Amino acid sequence: MRVAFSCEEDAGLESKISEHFGRSPYFILVDMEGEEIKKVESVVNPYYGFSLQPGMIPRFLKDKGVKIVTTGGIGRRAVDFFTQWGMEVFTAQGRVKEALLLLKENKLIPASPCKER
């Protein structure tokens, strides 16, 4: 299972989770097999700093094989894209390693979309 974390920095499991999904410069991808971490990879958000069409970042992560997305905050349209593709979305704060522990314990909070402006 591949889990993506929207992050402010490229520091692997020590990366700080971004407060806003669409404005995160990096995604930390973690491949899990049961409770075991098999691989940690950092990828640059190719759309960081650009005006986007809805669904571009969700499709990018879907094409990377992501099944679970974890972020500090996320908009309704992004949640809708992930949901329609059978992906789960959670919110968390802190560092990737802390959120992974919560994921393993089934304690991550399902995402509630941020209010649109």
Return the domain boundaries, the chain: 2-110
**φ/ψ of residue 92, rounded to 5:** -160, 160
Residue that the structure tokens 């919560």 belong to:
102
pLDDT tens digit string along 44-63?
A: 999 887 766 888 999 999 99
Could you say which architecture CATH assigns to the domain 2-110? 2-Layer Sandwich (3.30)
- Classify the C-alpha dihedral 76-78-83-89 as positive or negative: negative
SS3 57: helix
| Mean pLDDT on 82-93 | 95
| Mean pLDDT on 73-101 | 94
pLDDT for residue 114 is more than 80: no
- CA-atom Rg of the chain in angstroms: 13
Whether the model pTM is above 0.75: yes
